[in-house]
Amino acid sequence: MTITVGLKASIDLTVSENDTAIALRSGEVPVLGTPRLASLFEEASVAAISNNLEPGYTSVGMRIHLDHFAPSGVGTTITATAEVQEVDGRRITFRAQAKCIDNCNTNETVIGSAIIIRVLVDTERFLQRVD
């Protein structure tokens, strides 16, 4: 199987108390924490290519540039979409975006975006490098 430009996936999340900046210790407000948004973007990028990986291979995160534009309170539903933008050898670049889709002031509000780079690795060889 091959990783190609255009592969994409979306992941939905209804923000809970566990997803807040307070719970994640990244702030003092009860809204979606930026670390949770980063995790959601990573989850979508993994899902975008999971069915196209060679047996024995996985991808690992290398870099994420994230912008978090707007707050999302507990009970708000957001959807994060990641799409493959470039494939350069083992490096895969994704463009990701999150939108508020339910319980928002304005539906379809973009709350964040990211550029994510993941690297394809042989799972067994990669794990041999772990200390």
| Cβ burial, residue 27 (10 Å; 0-12/13-18/19+) | middle
Residue ranges making up the domain that contains 96? 8-128
Kindly report, residue by residue over 46-65, the tens digit of the pLDDT: 999 999 999 999 999 999 99
3 in a structural domain: no
Closest CA to 77 of 9, 10, 22, 16: 16
Assess if residue 40 is contained within a domain.
Answer: yes
Please give the positions annotated as active site: 34, 42, 68
CATH number for the domain spanning 107: value is 3.10.129.10
Number of folded domains that form the chain: 1
Q: Is residue 2 part of a domain?
A: no
131: confidence class by pLDDT, cuts 50, 70, 90: confident
Q: What is the pLDDT of residues 77-86, one digit of tens each?
A: 999 999 999 9
Q: In the predicted model, is pLDDT for residue 1 greater than 90? A: no
Q: How many CA atoms lie within 13 A of 97 on its CB side?
A: 9
Evaluate whether residue 33 is within a structural domain: yes
102, part of any domain: yes
Mean pLDDT score across all residues of the chain: 95
User: From CA 42, how far away is CA 116, in angstroms rounded?
Assistant: 8
Residue 31 lies in a domain: yes
